[in-house]
């Protein structure tokens, strides 16, 4: 199995634009409600953008050691509005599988690197 982190249209609320960079709109410059961390989890690199993985847990640990666990919704999207101290350590778990990023991140827009399957960089599960 592969887990990929990747985003949500105003008429769809939390289900909008899976696989897009959420923070391009959900930031102080974007005009929508500001989030600090957001993205979409997909089950693998060959699924469509409409096949986000529901029920995965995205664990975000900030530079102060605070961990927040975010559950993905039916579109595979997750988001956080709370302030976080960068850099962040991130892992994604689903059922008995877990994938931990090998580097810390300086930006909470997960889909800026992890994009819709078939379109961008993806990280295969070990």
Give pLDDT tens digits for 103-117: 999 988 887 777 655
Q: Is the pLDDT of residue 124 over 50?
A: no
Closest by CA position to 112, among listed 17, 26, 19:
19
pTM: 0.80
Contact criterion met (CB below 8 Å) for 5 and 40: yes
pLDDT in tens, 63-81: 999 999 999 999 889 999 9
pLDDT in tens, 3-61: 444 444 455 566 676 767 776 777 777 777 878 999 988 887 777 777 888 999 999 99
Domains of the chain: 4-112 (2.60.40)
Which whole-number Å values give the CA distances from 63 to 12, 53, 89, 93, 126, in the listed order? 33, 27, 8, 21, 26
pLDDT at 113 (0 to 100): 79
User: For the chain, what is the radius of gyration of the CA atoms?
Assistant: 13
């Amino acid at each position: 199995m592969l887990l990929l982190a990747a985003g949500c249209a105003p008429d769809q609320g939390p289900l909008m634009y899976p696989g897009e960079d959420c923070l391009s709109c959900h930031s102080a410059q974007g005009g929508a409600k500001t989030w600090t961390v957001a993205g979409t989890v997909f089950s693998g690199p060959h699924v469509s953008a409409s096949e986000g993985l529901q029920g995965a847990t995205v664990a975000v640990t900030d530079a102060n050691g605070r961990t927040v666990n975010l559950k993905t919704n039916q579109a595979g999207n997750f988001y956080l509005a709370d302030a976080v101290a960068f850099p962040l350590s991130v892992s994604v778990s689903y059922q008995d599988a877990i994938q931990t990023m090998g580097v810390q991140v300086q930006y909470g827009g997960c889909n800026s690197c992890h994009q819709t399957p078939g379109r961008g960089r993806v990280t295969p599960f070990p």
